[in-house]
Structure 1
């Protein structure tokens, strides 16, 4: 792990990976052994206030995260690259597209948050805002978004990782950012190739959600529904996820 990012592979196709609200750059670890290091070069970036960048001050917005990602690409000498975003990271990847469309080869969203944000009812919003201070609320959210079907040992480990790898101020601000920021007008009609990968057991970001949002904005959208996965395919079905990602990116020139 280098300062604020993790690298893997040395291939010609450059790919930036952006984690979700509960993750960090290290959250991609279960996926890495199944990716092709000969074909791809991956960099997994921490946001400000997360992982190796805890203590780095910021406004903790989607725009700031996108600017940081572009600055990292500059530092790495990447003129053009593809982006993978999980959940909140799916929103950040679209913000990168809005900021620098000429630099984006392709997008892959894994249970990606739409660029229009997420509408919450009052009860759900109370649960999500409560997760800032209460680890049990974080556990409830992870359990719900994976269909209430996975071992409590894994749920506890996910919560532990989230708490250890995020500052409360950043965690709270990013919730407001991905849930209540609507910039879809900035990306609507983009010809960029994009794949949205969703889990069959995810009630939050389902195929129906993707088709009612992403499908309206991206003419070159492909949707893949992963069997036996919920919101956290990186952990639940890493081999199937890696296969879906690489088959798509291999076709991008």
Structure 2
């Protein structure tokens, strides 16, 4: 597989990490500096149309992300691995689980989109579907999910990076799929150890949303709310996030 990826660490516990709708494999801030590379090996993949794969075209679907993720695991020689998925990447991680449940060790959903369709009213559809072409809509989404409390400088940076590091075709294609796809029947009842993290200030993917979805779908799921964070704890509270994720992954 001739696909670029970012590898951090050389530990025995293999972890594949899937980014969000606005992000890339590099868009994790100082979180990357605090990972335990002796215990874990982390591989970060860019989706087609994003980051180092911005020029790579595709169907821009969750199934395609899952296929590329599994191909990367094969190329790395990782028969079994854990998955960390942020936001849209949380739903993509569930697609990987649906396609290859026997290869999964643990699943971390970080402010994750649930497995079922994501309900949007008319205003929500205009906002999310229009964000591919409209910078102001991207800004409104970032502001919403961080609790309308982050500095404008930071929000502008997040929006500008998403415009620079992804194509509008990919950005628009993925939202159509992650909003409408329904994976519920394919993953419900899976006994895999699952940990879900949400930021206390996220106004969209809240703890209540997780209790009604992820915690209903997975019998061995647990939920942790991260204090003083919104949708992007890798930027807002990176040390707390690394500590919490690796504590879960390290547990028997």
Contact 2:94–2:183, Cα closer than 8 Å, also in 1:
no
Q: Quote the Cα distance in structure 1 between the aligned partners of 2:200 and 2:4.
A: 32
Q: Quote the Cα distance in structure 2 between the aligned partners of 1:227 and 1:26.
A: 24
Alignment of 1:192 with 2:187, yes or no, is no
Deviation at 1:33, TM superposition (A): 1.1
Which residue pairs with 2:5 in the alignment? 5
Stretches of structure 1 lacking an aligned partner (at least 5 in a row): none
Which residue pairs with 2:147 in the alignment? 147
Deviation at 1:3, TM superposition (A): 4.4
Contact 1:9–1:42, Cα closer than 8 Å, also in 2:
yes
Query: Given the two structures, how large is their TM-score scaled by the length of structure 1?
Result: 0.97
* Aligned-CA RMSD value: 1.0
Cα deviation 1:41-82 (Å, max 9, x = unaligned): 001100011111112121111011001000000000000000
Q: Quote the Cα distance in structure 2 between the aligned partners of 1:48 and 1:117.
A: 22
Q: Quote the Cα distance in structure 1 between the aligned partners of 2:29 and 2:76.
A: 21
Which residue pairs with 1:244 in the alignment? 244
Deviation at 1:117, TM superposition (A): 2.7
Q: Quote the Cα distance in structure 1 between the aligned partners of 2:30 and 2:204.
A: 22
Question: Secondary structure of 2:198's partner?
Answer: strand
Which residue pairs with 1:79 in the alignment? 79
Q: Where in structure 1 do 4 or more consecutive aligned residues deviate above 2 Å?
A: none
Query: Given the two structures, how large is their TM-score scaled by the length of structure 2?
Result: 0.98
Give matches, 1:114-193, under 5 Å.
114-193=114-193
Q: Quote the Cα distance in structure 2 between the aligned partners of 1:29 and 1:73.
A: 24
Stretches of structure 2 lacking an aligned partner (at least 5 in a row): none
Which residue pairs with 1:109 in the alignment? 109
Contact 1:4–1:51, Cα closer than 8 Å, also in 2:
no
Contact 1:24–1:51, Cα closer than 8 Å, also in 2:
yes
Alignment of 1:88 with 2:88, yes or no, is yes
Deviation at 1:11, TM superposition (A): 0.6
Q: Quote the Cα distance in structure 2 between the aligned partners of 1:104 and 1:27.
A: 24
Q: Quote the Cα distance in structure 1 between the aligned partners of 2:82 and 2:102.
A: 11
